[in-house]
Amino acid sequence: MGTALALLEIVLPVFLVIGIGYASARTRFLAENAVDALTSYAVRVATPALLFLALLRLDLGQAVDWRALLAFFATINISFFAAMALSRKFWRRRPGEAVAIGFAACFGNTVMLGVPIAERAYGAEVVAAVFGLIALHSAHNYFLGFITMEMVRADGTSFWEGLRRAFATTISNPLIWSLAALPLNLARAPLPEMLVEGLDMLAATAIPVSLFSLGGVLTRYRLRDEIGEALMISSMTLLAMPAIAWVLTAFVLGLAPEFVRAVVILTAMPSGVNGYIFATLYGRAVGTAASAVLLGTILSLGTITFWLGLLALWS
């Protein structure tokens, strides 16, 4: 009982902030455009500042392990193609719809939810490994999704146009701009203290604002008729992905505990808003992607607690 309570003490404050954001938007205490502004600030300003400073300060030799990257992205790719295959076989989805389902099933909410969970559960050592993984997360997933979609859909767009769109969309993501910290880190180039202090102030707001705005955004989603597929997506993100990641990191590759924890926790996050955005962009399986965000976030309170407990027993 004591262990269970300790785990809930890690997880519940995170979901409390999400719940306050949800209640604030649901009761119209905050207007819809205020939620949009907070979400935009979190995604485009505060979180990139947090990631930039984290990458700038990382001991790359200690925080980045190519085997952890291999396990992380292998797990993502397995989930992507497995969910595509399941949606085609059991729900008779068209190819483009199957890609949108696969994207929702592989793109967990690593930044808004994964970072605060890792920080509260494990502290600086695991968070450093988390940022080493997140650095390439969006770029990999969007390229995977865009290129696959352009290869299978039949909307008259050439593959090369799809590739151009994938590249343009990826480099316009502010999270990708944060990678500018890596050459500065390698060159050990000092930044003006005033600039760093300003970025620190922005970064300090990233986690609470992200969690609060996530709660506000969740009020817009409904559990629609595609509940079966939404449950399949949630099963992939909350159960299958962390299970695969745990086997790969702990038993196949034999990684150090901090990397095992980082990879498992990030792959245990529910489907994030990026899956919904991707589905909306192409007009494929939008209702299913929206349902998966809401259902997965609700279920993740229990599953994240489970994975934290399993990792505690393992270590």
Which of 64-78, 206-220, 300-314 has the weakest average pLDDT?
Answer: 206-220
pLDDT top residue among 227 and 90: 90
How confident is the model at residue 225, as a pLDDT? 60
User: What sign has the CA pseudo-torsion 183, 111, 141, 156?
Assistant: negative
- Looking from the CA of 185 toward its CB, the CA atoms found within 13 Å total 18
pLDDT digits (tens, 9 = 90+) for 78-99: 999 999 999 999 999 999 999 9
How confident is the model at residue 220, as a pLDDT? 83
pLDDT top residue among 2 and 44: 44
Q: Highest-confidence range of 18-32, 67-81, 197-211, by mean pLDDT?
A: 67-81
| Nearest-10 Cα torsion for 165, 35, 121, 64 | 20
Question: Closest Cα partner for 268 from 49, 113, 100, 45?
Answer: 113
State the chain's mean pLDDT as an integer.
Answer: 88
User: If you average pLDDT over residues 274-303, what whole number do you get?
Assistant: 86
How confident is the model at residue 65, as a pLDDT? 92
Residue with tokens 């609470």: 208
Which of 72-76, 99-103, 197-201, 273-277 has the weakest average pLDDT?
Answer: 273-277
With a cut of 60, say whether residue 315 has pLDDT above it. yes
What are the domain boundaries of the chain? 2-314
CA 128 to CA 33: how far, in whole Å? 34
Widest Cα–Cα separation across the chain: 59
Is 132 exposed, middle or buried, given 0-12, 13-18 or 19+ CB atoms closer than 10 A? buried
Structure-token pair, residue 143 = 């390229």
User: If you average pLDDT over residues 10-39, what whole number do you get?
Assistant: 91
Chain-centroid distance, C-alpha 3: 27
How confident is the model at residue 148, as a pLDDT? 87
Instruction: Give the pLDDT band of residue 102 (cuts 50, 70, 90).
Output: very high
CA 253 to CA 71: how far, in whole Å? 8
Q: List for the chain the helix, strand, coil content (%; round to 5).
A: 85, 0, 15
User: If you average pLDDT over residues 39-56, what whole number do you get?
Assistant: 87
Instruction: Give the pLDDT band of residue 1 (cuts 50, 70, 90).
Output: very low
Residue 29: φ, ψ to 5°: -60, -35
Report the SS3 class of residue 221: coil
With a cut of 50, say whether residue 212 has pLDDT above it. yes
How confident is the model at residue 107, as a pLDDT? 94
Question: Closest Cα partner for 278 from 100, 102, 73?
Answer: 100
pLDDT digits (tens, 9 = 90+) for 128-175: 899 889 888 887 898 898 888 877 865 556 667 767 776 777 777 787
How confident is the model at residue 99, as a pLDDT? 95
CA–CA distances in Å: residue 59 to residues 54, 65, 173, 197: 10, 11, 25, 20
Chain-centroid distance, C-alpha 315: 24
Contact present, 110 and 134 (Cβ < 8 Å): yes
For domain 2-314, the CATH class is: mainly alpha
